[in-house]
Structure 1
Amino acid sequence: MTAQKRFMRRGVTKFYFLKTIAATTNLPVRTELIGSNATDLSGFVSDVAGWSLANSPIDTPDMGSTLTTNIPGEDKADSSSLTFYEDQAQETIETLLSKGVEGFIVIMRKGDVPESKSMDVFPVRVAGRAPAYSAGNDPAKFTVTFAIAGQPSLDQAVPAAA
Structure 2
Amino acid sequence: MVATPITATSRYIPPGTTHYYWVATIANKSAPTRAELNAGSDLTAEVASVSGFATTSDQQDTPDLGSRFVSKIPGRITADDSSITLYLSSTSSDVRTLLPRDTAGFICIFPEGDTAGLKYDVFPVKVTGQPKARDVENPAQITIQFSITSIPVENITVPS
Identify whether the pair has TM-score above 0.5, normalized to the shorter chain.
yes
The 2-side partners of 1:152 and 1:100 are apart by 19
State the shift of 1:30 in Å: 1.0
The percentage of counterpart residues that share the same residue type is 37
Alpha-carbon distance, 1:26 to partner: 4.4
DSSP 3-state at the match of 2:130 = strand
Q: Is 2:13 the partner of 1:12?
A: no
Paired residues for 1:59-78 under 5 Å: 59-78=61-80
- SS in structure 2 at match of 1:130: coil
Give the distance between the partners of 1:155 and 1:97, measured in 2 at CA.
25
Larger displacement relative to structure 2 (42-51 or 89-98):
89-98
In structure 2, the partner of 1:149 is 149
Q: Deviations over 1:105-155 (max 9, x none)?
A: 001111012011x2100110001110011133x111111110001121100
Q: Structure 2: where are the runs of 5+ without partners?
A: none
Deviation at 1:32, TM superposition (A): 1.5
Aligned pair partner of 1:27 in 22, 27, 31: 31
Q: Note the residue ranges of structure 1 that are not aligned, 5 or more in a row.
A: none
Alignment of 1:10-159 (within 5 A): 10-23=15-28, 25-35=29-39, 38-116=40-118, 118-136=119-137, 138-159=138-159
One-letter code aligned to 2:32: P
Displacement after TM superposition at 1:92 (Å):
3.0
Name which of structure 1's ranges 3-12 and 45-54 shifts more when overlaid on structure 2.
3-12
TM-aligned CA deviation for residue 90 of structure 1: 2.9
**C-alpha spacing 1:59/1:126, structure 2 compared with 1 (3 Å):** same
Give distance in 2, aligned partners of 1:3 and 1:56.
30
State the aligned residue count.
155
Distance 2:37 2:55 in 1: 24
Cα distance between partner residues in 2 of 1:119 and 1:88:
33
Whole-angstrom CA distance in 1 between matches of 2:11 and 2:76:
32
Backbone CA RMSD of aligned residues: 1.4
Offset, 1:56: 0.6
Instruction: Give per-residue Cα distances to partners, 1:16-65, cap 9 Å, x unaligned.
Output: 00110123x44321111223xx1000001110111110111111111222
Q: Are the equivalent residues in 2 in contact too, given 1:27–1:121 (CA < 8 A)?
A: no
CA contact (8 A) 2:88 2:94 kept: no
What TM-score, normalized by structure 1, do the two folds share?
0.90
Distance 2:123 2:8 in 1: 31
